[in-house]
Amino acid sequence: MHIQQGVPTSDVTAGKYPTYQLGSGWNAMLPARPKSSRTSIRRFGTIVIGGGYTGLAAARRIAEMQPNQPVLVLEASTIGEGSSGRNSGFVINLPHNTKMGGHTSPLEVARKQIRLYDAGLHWLEQLVREHRIDCRWNPVGKFHAAASDAGVQNLSASLAQYREWGVNFEEYDRDALHEKLGTSYYRYGFHSPNNVFVQPAALIRGLADSQPANVVLIESEPVIALSESSPFRITTTEAEYTADRVILANNGFAKALGILRDRLITIFTYAAVTPRLPESELKKLGDTQEWGVIPANRLGTTLRRVRDGRFMVRSAYSYEREQSPSDTLAQLTNCYQRRYPNMKSHDFEYVWGGTTALTRNGATFFGQLRPGLFASLGCNGAGVLKGTTYGKLVGEMAMGAQSSQLSDALSLEGPSWLPPEPIRRIGVVSSIKYQAVLAGPER
């Protein structure tokens, strides 16, 4: 197993941004990228905290709307090594949660989200094509698969929603799934076209490197303090900046700056990718060059056959702290072996963890926290497209724009309250353990 060290931390920066024991496997597959330079400018109209999908989308739109004004993006890590370069590379344009919405029906909430995500996906694809971002963009859809009775029931409930939303799908029994995926582990599943596969580190690096000329991107400079009101003072490990407006796009780590401490939690998830497999082994992974499986339980195992001949496994969760690499390797190897016992080897080339920000009710905070301070926080595990979509809209909102898409985003319910520590930790850890038991064979 190849081990690439993560970014070191210190007492000053601890908890301000994600630090990892192992580097991103997706990023390690790419050529080295030059680091961004510093700037002598200290006063900006807008500063964006966080250089992930949300932050880069917000910076792009603000820079386009004010082409003569510099926009500063402060990224604590390096582009590609942060959380945005550590996900599974699914870009899904369907809702993950339609139960929030106040007095609005779940169907209307779903319709709003579908409109938002469709527009966001169209914009993201335009950017990829316009700037020739080589992120292996592949709109081949995704499978959902179940190995247990409870999993089959969950998928049946999902299909009832798909029918109500008017989403196309194709159902598969065990034999048909075996042909497609190369495993008889799953009893039942379905495929829908609502997904694009990407190489996530390549995508976020391409989005960063194609920013408008008036975007100033600084990497490896964590923000450690933010003042209460405009003009905002933003203190980093290297300098102090001033801005009329601030966009918070650092997900769960906004808590460390005093924002939404009673609304957000940070969860680590884990993934591993094999070396490129020989053709004889790839034949054991079904008849399709690239596919992915979403589990029938939220704590189940995600799979992805990658177009370049690798195989990815993602599973396991931990609260606020990363588990040991040895535990991660053992868990992911077990997931791989149970599904594909006939593979010649179950070795991985890269193993890594990544963070996502969750809220109790699955809702994202989107809007203005106080005058001049805007945020989109709590992606709930759907950061690529939701981050891009909401980042674009929060940038437009900060510039005073109005649109039906912005109205839809603002109409959705925000995150619900979370109890303080240690009650919060007890509740979340207990929930993870309980959901793991419920997941059963889906893990």
Full-model pTM: 0.95
- Inter-helix orientation angle 53-65/200-209, to 10°: 20
* Beta pairing class for 265-273 and 350-358: antiparallel
Of the CATH numbers 3.90.25.10, 3.40.50.450, 3.10.20.30, 3.50.50.60, which one belongs to the domain with range 25-31+42-127+201-262+360-428?
3.50.50.60
Over the stretch 86-97, which tens digit does the pLDDT of each residue have? 999 999 999 977
For the record, the structure tokens of 214 come out as: 């008036």
What confidence category does residue 7 fall into, taking pLDDT thresholds of 50, 70 and 90?
A: very low
Number of residues that this document lists for the chain = 443
Q: Which residue has the higher pLDDT, 423 or 100?
A: 423
For the record, the structure tokens of 280 come out as: 């004889």
Over the stretch 183-227, which tens digit does the pLDDT of each residue have? 999 999 999 999 999 999 999 999 999 999 999 999 999 999 999
Q: Does position 99 have pLDDT exceeding 90, yes or no?
A: no
Q: Does position 11 have pLDDT exceeding 90, yes or no?
A: no
Ranges of each domain in the chain = 25-31+42-127+201-262+360-428
Over the stretch 103-161, which tens digit does the pLDDT of each residue have? 568 999 999 999 999 999 999 999 999 999 999 999 999 999 999 999 999 999 999 99
Which residue type does 85 have? G
- 227: phi then psi, degrees, rounded to nearest 5: -75, 170
CA distance 78 to 35: 8
- 226: phi then psi, degrees, rounded to nearest 5: -140, 130
- 218: phi then psi, degrees, rounded to nearest 5: -120, 125
Mean per-residue pLDDT over the chain, rounded: 94
Over the stretch 68-81, which tens digit does the pLDDT of each residue have? 999 999 999 999 99
Distance, CA of 113 to chain centre: 17
Give residue 2's pLDDT.
Answer: 43
For the record, the structure tokens of 209 come out as: 């490197």
Find out whether 249 and 376 touch, Cβ atoms under 8 Å.
yes
**DSSP one-letter code for 134:** -
- 373: phi then psi, degrees, rounded to nearest 5: -115, 115
Which residue type does 273 have? V
